[in-house]
Amino acid sequence: MPATGSTDVPAIEVRNLTKKYGEVVAVNGLNLKVKKGEVYGFLGPNGAGKTTTLKIIMGLVHPTAGDVLIGGKKPDAEVRRDIGFLPEKMSFYDNLTPTQTLEFFADLKNAEKKEIRQILRDVGLQEAAERRVGGFSKGMGQLLGIAQCMLGSPSLYVLDEPMSGLDARWRKYFKDKLKTINQNGATIIFSSHILAEVEDICDRVGIIHRGRLLFEGTVQELHRHLKLKPKLEIMIEGLAGKVPEELKGMEGIEASASGDWLTVVCDYGSRAAVMSILERKGLKILDFRTSEPSLEESFDLLLASVEGRR
Ligand SMILES: Nc1ncnc2c1ncn2[C@@H]1O[C@H](COP(=O)(O)OP(=O)(O)O)[C@@H](O)[C@H]1O
Ligand SMILES: [Mg+2]
């Protein structure tokens, strides 16, 4: 039985964190909480302060102000050694094989070496286990980086831009690996400046810009926060570029027409009303598609709204 209340303690809590490099304020009064068991996407454009924050979490950079709690406590070196950390730029010795590389890291982390074969199998590098790392593709290198994190079966992973430089197929593969690690019970925080690629695996996202947290919550909450609306595209026989009169007066709806396609931007609750109006009018619907607002759109809007306020 888990101890009562233990799940309320965040896996990571960042409190009023500030980091200045001379005149540059890399992190500016940042607060965030990563809940136990979740996948947390730490998102923001280049230079936003993601790497600095993650390095402070890992104890690699000293904050100017504020602090970090891991599992509710100020972490010591031993607690941090048990975190699976993937730095922004991970480098390996070209002449070593993945097996030798993981043996090297196992020594550093005091982790069991007998896990190595299984970990290489888990990340899909078993075929390449005895090849030299020097010949690896970027994707294979990232998988070896994740394998290195998995040594010692950590309950917490901190990954800095783990998907950067990977093509779509590799990203999919990589995300599947992260999902499996999470389903096996680990908490994951990872950073990314490319938002569209992460929304399907994050339980929650934190958005950072110029060292400040602009938003923290689920992707759906972000859409609601920005009042983003889904778009309906409906192909109607004989529409001829005209918006049906009945839709024109409806509140909270933007409708436009082009050829046989009617485009309606409305909130989620009004979608059914729009469809029944069209049906009652006896229009023949030939095709239909909806598109949800993407995280990319949300992100651009969020940044624009912040820039606008300056
Ligand atoms: N060691 C450093 N010395 C001086 N400035 C730094 C250093 N590290 C980061 N910065 C600056 O801090 C800001 C945040 O950088 P970083 O945390 O790397 O952002 P991100 O990872 O989101 O791209 C940037 O303006 C960057 O140039
Ligand atoms: Mg970075």
Structural domain boundaries of the chain?
A: 6-218, 231-292
In 3D, which of 248, 259, 247 has the Cα closest to residue 286? Answer: 259
What token pair was written down for 12?
A: 């990571």
- Residue 2 is predicted with a pLDDT of 45
Q: Averaged over 115-126, what is the pLDDT?
A: 92
Max Cα–Cα distance, the chain, nearest Å = 73
Question: By the 8 A CB rule, do 56 and 208 touch?
Answer: no
- Which residue intervals of 131-243 are DSSP H helices? 138-150, 168-183, 219-225
- Residue 104 is predicted with a pLDDT of 95
Question: Could you identify the atom of ligand 1 that is nearest to the CA of residue 52?
Answer: 17
Tell me the C-alpha distance between 50 and 21, whole Å: 14
- Band of residue 6 on the pLDDT scale cut at 50, 70, 90: low
Residue nearest to atom 17 of ligand 1 (CA): 49
CATH homologous superfamily of 6-218 = P-loop containing nucleotide triphosphate hydrolases (3.40.50.300)
CA of 26 to the centre of ligand 1 (A): 6
- Residue 310 is predicted with a pLDDT of 46
pLDDT at 200 over 60: yes
Tell me the C-alpha distance between 196 and 299, whole Å: 10
CA dist 154 → 62, 71, 148 (Å): 23, 13, 11
- Band of residue 186 on the pLDDT scale cut at 50, 70, 90: very high
CA of 16 to the centre of ligand 1 (A): 18
Tell me the C-alpha distance between 75 and 61, whole Å: 14
CA of 160 to the centre of ligand 2 (A): 7
What token pair was written down for 25?
A: 């304020």
- Residues in contact with ligand 1 by the CB-under-6-Å rule are 21, 24, 26, 44, 46-52
- Residue 197 is predicted with a pLDDT of 66
- Band of residue 21 on the pLDDT scale cut at 50, 70, 90: very high
Quickly name the fold that domain 231-292 has: Alpha-Beta Plaits (3.30.70)
CA of 149 to the centre of ligand 1 (A): 24
In 3D, which of 45, 34, 80 has the Cα closest to residue 60? Answer: 80
Report the b/e string of 238-251 with b at 16+ CB within 10 A. ebeeebbeebeeee
Radius of gyration in angstroms for the set of CA atoms belonging to the chain, rounded to a whole number: 24
Three-state SS at 68:
strand
* Per-residue pLDDT tens over the stretch 30-70: 999 999 999 999 998 889 999 999 999 999 999 999 999 99
Enter the pTM of the model: 0.80
